[in-house]
Amino acid sequence: MTGTTIAAGLPELTAGRLADSWQLDPYALALVLVLGGLYACGLVRLARRGERWPLARTAAFAGIGLGGIVVATMSGLAVYDHELFWPAAVQNVVLDLIAPLGLALGDPLALALRALPEERPAARWLRARLTGRALRLLTFPLVSTVLVLASELAVYFTPYFPTALRHGPLHELMYLQLLVVGSLFVLPMLTREALLPSWCSHPVRALLVLVDGLVDAVPGIVVMTSSTMIAGGWYASQHRPWDPSPERDQMIGGGLMLTIAEVVGLPFLIAVFAEWVRSERARTKALDARLDRELAPAGGTAAAGGTGAAGGTDAPQPELTRPWWETDQGMVGERFRRHGGGG
């Protein structure tokens, strides 16, 4: 059913109708089923091996990620996106910001690599793609930020959007474009896999998220303040007595884009800080384990040497294994020796 046919008999848009109106989008449904099915297969594989996967990640992937796709493409936003501009604007920002954030919080890449045995061709293929130059370039922080901004501005300030309103397949392609481009920035920031350059530490990521939040606000501000009507011919032909004026409709849409972009930025930043804390805890745990391994031989050898001395044995004693901080030539070792071996 085309957008024109749908819009022909639509009643006045209210909050209740926005919540109750739904339509089937077979292409979006197929994408949700494929993504959800692959994620579920990974969970089953881990469960069979007795490994656990965080429930919160699964909930975020299914509820925010896949749920965001469903809401954007099949709820009242999709029903009324050919009638009014502001539902289309909200629909697009959900696909561009909210759904990618939910998918990234589920960390599907780490799940896939854990679920696939390393000797399987699929695992080798996936690792090769993740380390390939093409993906590294597209997910490079500055590149992905520019792509997100360019994608949104191209939708609204070229013939792309009005043409997509007239042609269903192109509209579906626009949906996919917004989802993929949004994921190129969000997913590398939150995944446990090393997709970003080595200099992109968690503090740097937090700074990049702040910058991205400012960039995401640009399309909303431009749309809200622009004197050029976006898809003005289309929406003017669909105008009903109960519709807001096209100018007010576009102002509402731009304001909602700006509001949602700023609201999404906070949980995104919190998620980056949570990954930062988790990473530091893992690093501390690994350092503690290393110290335990370094100290264990030294303690055991010293005990053995003491027994030999007590027994009056003149056999040469093996050299004690010294902890790494005593032989370290860097700042830690220098500070240790300066303070007399730590007392």
Over residues 184-214, the pLDDT tens digits come to 989 888 887 777 777 878 888 888 888 888 8
Residue 314's pLDDT is what? 54
CB 178 within 8 A of CB 96: yes
**Could you give the percent of the chain with pLDDT greater than 90?**
40
* Helix, strand, or coil (residue 296): helix
Give this prediction's pTM: 0.77
CB 122 within 8 A of CB 48: no
Average pLDDT of span 292-314? 54
Average pLDDT of span 224-234? 88
Residue 6's pLDDT is what? 43
Residue 108's pLDDT is what? 93
Average pLDDT of span 66-81? 95
Buried b (16+ CB within 10 A) or exposed e, 251-285: bbbbbbbbebbeebbeebbebbeebeeeeeeeeee
pLDDT-derived band at 7 (thresholds 50, 70, 90) equals very low
Residue 276's pLDDT is what? 78
